[in-house]
Structure 1
Amino acid sequence: MALVSPAQASGGLFCEGEGGSADIAMGRLVVMQVLGASVEIGGITYSTGPERGEGEPFAVGQAFAEGDDIMVDFVDPNFEDIIVSLRVRFDRATESFVGVLRSQTMQVDVTCMEG
């Protein structure tokens, strides 16, 4: 019998809070892979490509899932600076992910739902 925790599901993650949101498409087999994303934080929108909507270009620098934690860093197209980071943990009481979406100038508390 295999048990799957919420952080090991496939699909996407939509996070939002006052001043920011993130929409991340993910694939999960043995490891988590971010397939694309769009993020709005502090009035600036970022996108991994036109299929994810308009926005300043950014790329996935690294993405990890460990236990109930998901951690994603998005970088500039030259892979020189981290532009946006997402750190969330599954909260069993609310059955949602909660955490922080952070840019170089702003931090937003977010709640996330899988979809």
Structure 2
Amino acid sequence: MLPRFALLVLAFSAMAPAAHATGTITCVDQDDRVALELSIGTLPVLKVVGGSIAVDDRMISIGDEGADAFAVGQAFRADGRLMVDFTDSNIEAVTARLRLEETGEARDFVTAGTFQLVGTGAYAVTCVGP
């Protein structure tokens, strides 16, 4: 039989909420036509846990339903590159692509790249965030 202390530890650990450490990447284009915000989990691999995209008057969020619904199809971050492909909610077609390059020197860091909304346009973006 487990000692009483071990049972208490197991009980309290089962009740504790899961830790979700996240960071946010925010990107815009110079003409203020595109605003993109992604919440990413701080895991050994890149995990996009939430986000929204605004292009002109169109606003899309991860998990929306209907014609503008989208999901994260795949995400990858390594060697100063970050790449995310967004798909329709059925994961049948890529609907948007984000490609970023990250570079830094001493305390100066820059993240920039392209965002493509399939069927609408491609945009040069600059970003801040982890």
Indicate the residue corresponding to 1:65 in structure 2.
77
Counterpart pick for 1:11 among 19, 23, 27? 23
For the 8 Å contact 1:42–1:106, the answer to whether it is kept is no
Q: Which has the higher strand share?
A: 1
C-alpha separation in 2, matches of 1:46 and 1:111: 19
Q: What secondary structure sits across from 1:57 in the alignment?
A: coil
Q: What secondary structure sits across from 1:80 in the alignment?
A: coil
Please identify runs of 4+ aligned residues in structure 1 that moved more than 3 A: none
For the 8 Å contact 1:39–1:46, the answer to whether it is kept is yes
Indicate the residue corresponding to 2:90 in structure 1.
78
Aligned-residue offset at 1:12: 1.2
Stretches of structure 2 lacking an aligned partner (at least 5 in a row): 1-21
Indicate the residue corresponding to 2:128 in structure 1.
113
Indicate the residue corresponding to 1:89 in structure 2.
101
Provide the identity percentage. 30
Indicate the residue corresponding to 1:6 in structure 2.
none
Counterpart amino acid of 2:27? C
Stretches of structure 1 lacking an aligned partner (at least 5 in a row): 1-9
C-alpha separation in 2, matches of 1:49 and 1:80: 15
Aligned-residue offset at 1:96: 2.4
Aligned-residue offset at 1:42: 4.3
Q: How many positions carry a matched residue from both structures?
A: 102
RMSD over aligned CA atoms reads 1.9
Which structure's relative contact order is higher, taking Cα pairs within 8 Å and 6+ residues apart?
A: 1
Counterpart amino acid of 2:81? D
- Distance 1:49-1:78 versus aligned 2 partners, 3 A rule: closer
